[in-house]
Amino acid sequence: MSWVLAFVGFALLVILHELGHFWAAKSVGMRVEKFSLFFPPTLFSKKRGETEYAIGAIPAGGYVKISGMNPDEDLPDEVRTRAYYSQPVWKRIVVIAAGPAMNLILAFVLMFVFFALIGAETGTSKVGVMETNYPAAKVLESGDRVVAVDGKRGGPAVFAKQIATHKCPGDARTEGCKAAQPVQLTVVRDGRQRTFEITPIYDPAAPNGDGEDPGRSRLGFSYQAGPRETLPFAESLDVTADRFWYITKTTLTLPARLLDTEKRKEISGVVGSYETTRQTILYDLAQVVGILAIISLSLAIVNLFPFLPLDGGHIFWAIVEKVRGRPVAFSVMERAGVVGFMLVILIFLVGLTNDIDRLSGEGFQVR
Q: Using an 8 Å Cβ cutoff, are 332 and 313 in contact?
A: no
Q: Write the single-letter amino acid at 365.
A: Q
Average pLDDT value for the chain: 86
Q: Which domains can be identified in the chain, with CATH numbers?
A: 2-117+285-360 (no CATH), 122-227 (2.30.42.10)
| Distance from C-alpha of 254 to C-alpha of 266, rounded to nearest angstrom | 10
Q: Using an 8 Å Cβ cutoff, are 205 and 262 in contact?
A: yes
Which tens digit of pLDDT belongs to each residue from 77-129?
Answer: 888 889 999 999 999 999 999 999 999 999 999 999 999 999 887 778 899 88
Of 170-174, 197-201, 217-221, the range with the lowest mean pLDDT is: 170-174
Q: Which residues contact 166 (CB under 8 A, 6 or more apart)?
A: 179, 180, 181, 182, 183, 199, 200, 217
Total-model pTM: 0.75
Please say if the pLDDT value at position 347 is more than 80: no
Angle at 303 between CA 1 and CA 104, to 5 degrees: 70
Which tens digit of pLDDT belongs to each residue from 126-150?
Answer: 998 888 889 999 999 999 999 999 9
Cα end-to-end span (Å), the chain: 19
| Distance from C-alpha of 304 to C-alpha of 298, rounded to nearest angstrom | 10
Residue 268, pLDDT score: 72
Please say if the pLDDT value at position 160 is more than 50: yes
In whole angstroms, what separates CA 328 from the centre of its chain? Answer: 33
Residue 180, pLDDT score: 94
Specify burial of residue 322 (Cβ count, 10 A radius: 0-12, 13-18, 19+): middle
Instruction: Over range 266-270, report the average pLDDT.
Output: 68
